[in-house]
Amino acid sequence: MTGANGVVNAVSRRIVAGLGLASMSAALQTRNVRAQSGRPVQLVALGDSLTAGYNLPAEAAFPAALERALRAKGYAVEIVNAGVSGDTASAGLDRLDWSVADGTDGVIVELGANDMLRGLDPAVPREAIEAIVGRLKARGIPVMLAGMYASRNLGKAYVERFDGLYTEIAKEHGLVLYPFFLDGIAGDRSLNLPDGLHPTAKGVEVIVARILPTVERFLATLPRR
């Protein structure tokens, strides 16, 4: 009988353990379902033609390509394309309030290229980008900054001031920074349109692949809803 009881007790323990695992599995599945049923993280890409997708189909533009890449890695995210071709940083500031809706969880700011191409004093985009960051922070919306490098033919002094403004703003405000939005495609004719300034669809994919780890780091900093 002792042996039988031992077998019974062993079987009972296995049954209880199995029930415990089943309960744990059910609980995990419930949590997963709840997580999946929650709304996706809402991001806005606020920028110029590099964000808008100049001369590209909507699905090939940076925000759409980035959203696909993030979803492929399991992130529930939606990215609004708030890029406007020709926008300077000041123009982005002027339309900030209606470009970034309430309920936005984070904003990727990509502005300043047109300021540089027009040869504006770097103090001008710096002031505008700082104002954008300040107003978004006041609304409780985190910001990731995507920087730009100046054309080297603008001279050493200009290049240093322009390139440095993104690093300085990011440090001052504690932002996640991607230093150069066009990293990996600048100057590559095969990845840019004939104008030499705007990426092709393939060029956008290169941008997305390179910026993706930084965007993931940004997502990890967003407050839990």
Residue of 37, 102, 190, 195 with catalytic role: 195
Q: What is the band of 225 on the pLDDT scale with cuts at 50, 70, 90?
A: low
Cα atoms in the 13 Å half-sphere on the side-chain side of 207: 32
Residue 79, beta-bridge partner list: 43
Give yes or no for residue 124 having a pLDDT over 60. Answer: yes
CB proximity list for 82: less than 8 A, separation 6 or greater? 44, 45, 46, 47, 51, 99, 100
Q: CB of 111 within 8 A of CB of 87?
A: yes
pTM of the entire structure?
0.83
Q: How many residues does the chain have?
A: 225
195 an active-site residue?
yes
121 in catalytic set: no
d(CA 68, CA 139): 27
- Annotated active-site residue 25? The verdict is no
Q: Which of 48, 49, 87, 90 is catalytic?
A: 49
Catalytic option among 48, 90, 105, 198: 198
Query: What is the pLDDT confidence band of residue 26, given thresholds at 50, 70 and 90?
Result: very low
pLDDT band for position 177 (cuts 50, 70, 90)? very high
pLDDT at 36: 43
- Mean predicted confidence (pLDDT) in 132-156: 97
